[in-house]
């Protein structure tokens, strides 16, 4: 029987102290910090802000839903509660701009740590920088104020300590993960992914150590089970205990939610992001099939699993990018050295060696940083406000606040809509409504786990405009609707004789505003005798209604 052999880095880690290595590392971090000015709508953020404020005000965490009128009292596991508190503190201190500090700090730290690990794996500043840029490109669409940014950081830290143990036998440092996992468990449920990775290495090491030709940790230095058990126990140190596991299992097994949310869809290889996924798959395949080094069974098999998960859901692609690039780094360096130099190690003064040409890489670093800041500037001009401080502009850019129904909410408040009205809203707008009108419960929002079961299934039928959608609305007693004119449902509500359009941000319902980072929000009220005066008053007070009536008066709902 052949024991798993210790695997050494391609080159000593002393190369990480070179000037070129520092230059490329700084360029990578500045690039991701700049591209963190990422204008992607994030409806979750708003209910998370409200929840963070609730936790601070009540000195407790919620256990049941109080934001919707359809699921009030349903059990709610707020496993990211500590992140929400951080959100509230940053927002209170700096407004939306404070959330950019959160994104930039976590993303910058993640990629600094990733680059350091890549350098240790390859010994090559340029190879490490290239893999870091590839990971940044694939993770970039998720550079948003979301709790999973903590998972990205802790996953990279987990892999870093794990590989340090496998390369050099530094088992003792794995125990550092246990207290960190207590923190992680209260920041994001992705801690379970970290435990799964550690457990995977324990299992595969135990099996592969009994097989001939196995590679991995040096004899007597296989993955220890003690730190893994400690990390597993750490995940239970939360206000919800075992319920966090149950919530995680329910989430990944709910097919309605998986089909409803775009981030759970498979990558579209006809789109730009799908093409980028193809690139990393090609790099991984080239590295693993062309390497001259022995492959670690646990790393190789986990890599296959990560590829599968990335192909199954867009939201898993960042995990493949952050973990997969580390696992293949030394193999990629070996493959490149073999093809370029017909040797196991690249020449120190070569482009992919320890000391690549500094002048060329200096120009490349400047170009990468300038490109990142140009992207940020373009995003601010396209989606940010025209006035305000730079920090305010950045904050409002990353939340794309122009797409949310703020004006419609102000109209509802000004016209004093009865609090007893049952509001119907679209899934993506629920989070904003929870934050903007805290005294008016929503129909649904992006806390999908709260609505698992019949409610989420019924919403999907309404969303898909299947037969009986009107009956489903009537079943729940809906008498107030807020929706964007770009939603398919609006085409059903406009001509409906039992619904009256009473408000529009813009009177031209045919003009698409998405390219401007704005949304034309409409409000409908059910034609019920008790709301007759409210309908008439709203139509008089809505500045855009006259334009709507002139252009679309033939529709029953606007007569």
Say how far apart CA 311 and CA 302 lie, in whole Å.
14
* pLDDT the model gives residue 275: 95
* Residue 215 per-residue DSSP state: B
In the chain, the number of structural domains is: 2
Position 555 confidence tier, pLDDT thresholds 50, 70, 90: low
Are residues 368 and 416 located together in one domain of the fold? no
Per-residue pLDDT tens for 218-230? 544 577 888 899 9
Are residues 166 and 300 located together in one domain of the fold? yes
Say how far apart CA 54 and CA 263 lie, in whole Å.
28
CA separation, residue 462 to residues 27, 111, 382, 492, 501 (Å): 48, 42, 33, 11, 19
Domain membership of residue 245 (yes or no) is: yes
Domain membership of residue 55 (yes or no) is: yes
CB 239 within 8 A of CB 59: no
Domain membership of residue 396 (yes or no) is: no
CB 399 within 8 A of CB 96: yes
Q: What percent of the chain has pLDDT over 70?
A: 89
Domain membership of residue 394 (yes or no) is: no
Are residues 334 and 218 located together in one domain of the fold? yes
Name the β-bridge partners of 145: none
Say how far apart CA 542 and CA 505 lie, in whole Å.
9
Which ranges of 169-225 would DSSP assign to H, the alpha helix? 177-185, 191-208
The structure's pTM equals 0.90
Name the β-bridge partners of 521: 484
Say how far apart CA 190 and CA 302 lie, in whole Å.
17
**pLDDT (mean) for 368-378:** 95
Say how far apart CA 534 and CA 363 lie, in whole Å.
65
Higher-scoring residue by pLDDT: 36, 466: 36
Domain membership of residue 474 (yes or no) is: yes
Domain membership of residue 392 (yes or no) is: no
Q: Which two tokens stand for residue 304?
A: 């296959």
Q: Which two tokens stand for residue 423?
A: 């509001």
Cα first-last separation, the chain: 85
Which ranges of 95-190 would DSSP assign to H, the alpha helix? 96-122, 125-139, 148-168, 177-185
Position 205 confidence tier, pLDDT thresholds 50, 70, 90: confident
Q: Which residue range forms the structural domain that includes residue 20?
A: 13-372
Say how far apart CA 270 and CA 243 lie, in whole Å.
39
Are residues 227 and 268 located together in one domain of the fold? yes
CB 140 within 8 A of CB 272: no
* Residue 5 per-residue DSSP state: B
- Of the candidates 516, 519, 517, 538, the residue with the CA atom closest to the CA atom of residue 527: 538
Q: Which two tokens stand for residue 536?
A: 């008439």
Domain membership of residue 445 (yes or no) is: yes
Say how far apart CA 485 and CA 250 lie, in whole Å.
33
Our measurement of the distance from residue 287's CA atom to the centroid of its chain's CA atoms, rounded to an integer in Å, reads 28
Per-residue pLDDT tens for 519-549? 889 999 999 999 999 999 999 999 998 888 8
Q: How many helices (H) and strands (E) does the chain have?
A: 24, 4
- Of the candidates 472, 468, 416, the residue with the CA atom closest to the CA atom of residue 443: 472
Position 471 confidence tier, pLDDT thresholds 50, 70, 90: confident
Are residues 359 and 304 located together in one domain of the fold? yes
Give residue for tokens 């390369």: 167
Domain membership of residue 6 (yes or no) is: no
Q: Which two tokens stand for residue 306?
A: 């990560």
Q: Which residue, 326, 352, 372, sits at the end of a domain?
A: 372
Are residues 45 and 126 located together in one domain of the fold? yes
Are residues 167 and 269 located together in one domain of the fold? yes
Are residues 358 and 453 located together in one domain of the fold? no
CB atoms closer than 10 angstroms to residue 261:
16
Say how far apart CA 113 and CA 135 lie, in whole Å.
13
Residue 469 makes CB contacts below 8 A (sequence gap 6+) with 461, 462, 489, 492
Per-residue pLDDT tens for 260-306? 778 888 999 999 999 999 999 999 999 999 999 988 888 999 999 99
Are residues 319 and 445 located together in one domain of the fold? no
Are residues 249 and 124 located together in one domain of the fold? yes
Are residues 18 and 93 located together in one domain of the fold? yes
Helix (H, G, I), strand (E, B) or coil at 455: helix
Average pLDDT over all residues of the chain: 87
CB 88 within 8 A of CB 49: yes
Helix (H, G, I), strand (E, B) or coil at 75: strand
Residue 362, CA atoms < 13 Å, CB-side half-sphere: 4
Are residues 193 and 146 located together in one domain of the fold? yes
Q: What are phi and psi for residue 424, nearest 5 degrees?
A: -110, 130
Say how far apart CA 358 and CA 371 lie, in whole Å.
20
- Of the candidates 407, 424, 408, the residue with the CA atom closest to the CA atom of residue 68: 424
Per-residue pLDDT tens for 83-120? 999 999 999 999 999 999 999 999 999 999 999 999 99
């Amino acid at each position: 029987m052949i024991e798993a052999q210790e695997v050494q880095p391609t080159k000593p880690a002393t190369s990480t102290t070179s000037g070129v290595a520092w230059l490329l590392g700084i360029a990578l971090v500045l690039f991701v910090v700049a591209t963190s000015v990422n204008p992607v709508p994030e409806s979750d953020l708003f209910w998370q802000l409200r929840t963070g404020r609730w936790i601070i005000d009540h000195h407790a965490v919620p256990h049941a839903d109080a934001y919707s009128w359809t699921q009030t009292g349903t059990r709610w596991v707020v496993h990211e509660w500590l992140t929400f508190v951080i959100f509230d503190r940053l927002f209170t201190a700096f407004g939306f701009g404070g959330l950019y500090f959160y994104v930039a700090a976590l993303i910058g730290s993640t990629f600094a740590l990733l680059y350091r690990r890549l350098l240790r794996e390859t010994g090559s500043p340029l190879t490490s920088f290239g893999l870091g840029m590839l990971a940044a490109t694939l993770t970039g669409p998720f550079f948003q104020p979301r709790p999973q940014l903590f998972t990205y950081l802790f996953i990279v830290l987990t892999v870093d300590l794990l590989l340090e143990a496998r390369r050099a036998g530094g088992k003792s440092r794995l125990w550092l993960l246990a207290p960190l996992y207590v923190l992680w468990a209260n920041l994001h449920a992705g801690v379970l992914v970290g435990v799964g990775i550690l457990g995977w290495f324990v299992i595969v090491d135990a099996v592969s150590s009994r097989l001939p030709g196995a590679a991995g940790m040096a004899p007597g230095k296989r993955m220890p089970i003690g730190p893994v058990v400690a990390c597993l126990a750490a995940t239970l140190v939360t206000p919800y205990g075992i319920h966090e596991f149950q919530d995680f299992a329910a989430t990944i097994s709910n097919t309605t939610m998986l089909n409803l949310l775009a981030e759970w869809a498979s990558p579209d290889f006809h789109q730009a992001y799908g093409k980028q996924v193809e690139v990393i798959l090609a790099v991984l395949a080239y590295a693993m099939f062309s390497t001259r080094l022995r492959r670690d069974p646990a790393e190789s098999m986990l890599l296959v699993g990560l590829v599968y998960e990335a192909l199954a859901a867009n939201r898993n692609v960042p995990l493949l990018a952050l973990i997969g690039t580390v696992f293949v780094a030394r193999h990629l360096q070996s493959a490149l050295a073999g093809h370029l130099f017909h040797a196991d190690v690249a020449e120190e003064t070569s482009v992919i060696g320890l000391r690549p040409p500094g002048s060329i890489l200096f120009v490349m670093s400047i170009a990468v940083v300038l490109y990142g800041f140009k992207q940020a500037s373009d995003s601010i001009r396209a989606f940010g406000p025209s006035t305000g401080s730079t920090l305010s502009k950045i904050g409002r850019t990353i939340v794309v606040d122009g797409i949310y129904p703020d004006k419609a909410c102000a109209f509802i408040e000004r016209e004093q809509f009865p609090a007893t009205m049952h509001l119907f809203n679209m899934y993506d707008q629920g989070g904003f409504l929870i934050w903007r009108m805290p005294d008016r419960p929503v129909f649904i929002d992006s806390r999908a786990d709260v609505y698992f079961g019949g409610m989420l299934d019924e919403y999907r039928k309404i969303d898909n405009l299947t037969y009986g959608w009107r009956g489903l609305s009537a079943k729940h007693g809906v008498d107030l609707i807020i929706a964007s004119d770009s939603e398919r449902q609006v085409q059903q509500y406009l001509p409906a004789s039992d619904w009256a359009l009473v408000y529009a941000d813009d009177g031209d319902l045919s003009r698409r505003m998405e390219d401007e980072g704005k949304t034309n929000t409409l409000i409908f009220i059910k034609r019920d005798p008790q709301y007759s005066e409210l309908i008439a008053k709203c139509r008089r007070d809505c500045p855009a209604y006259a334009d709507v009536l002139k252009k679309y008066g033939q529709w029953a709902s606007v007569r």
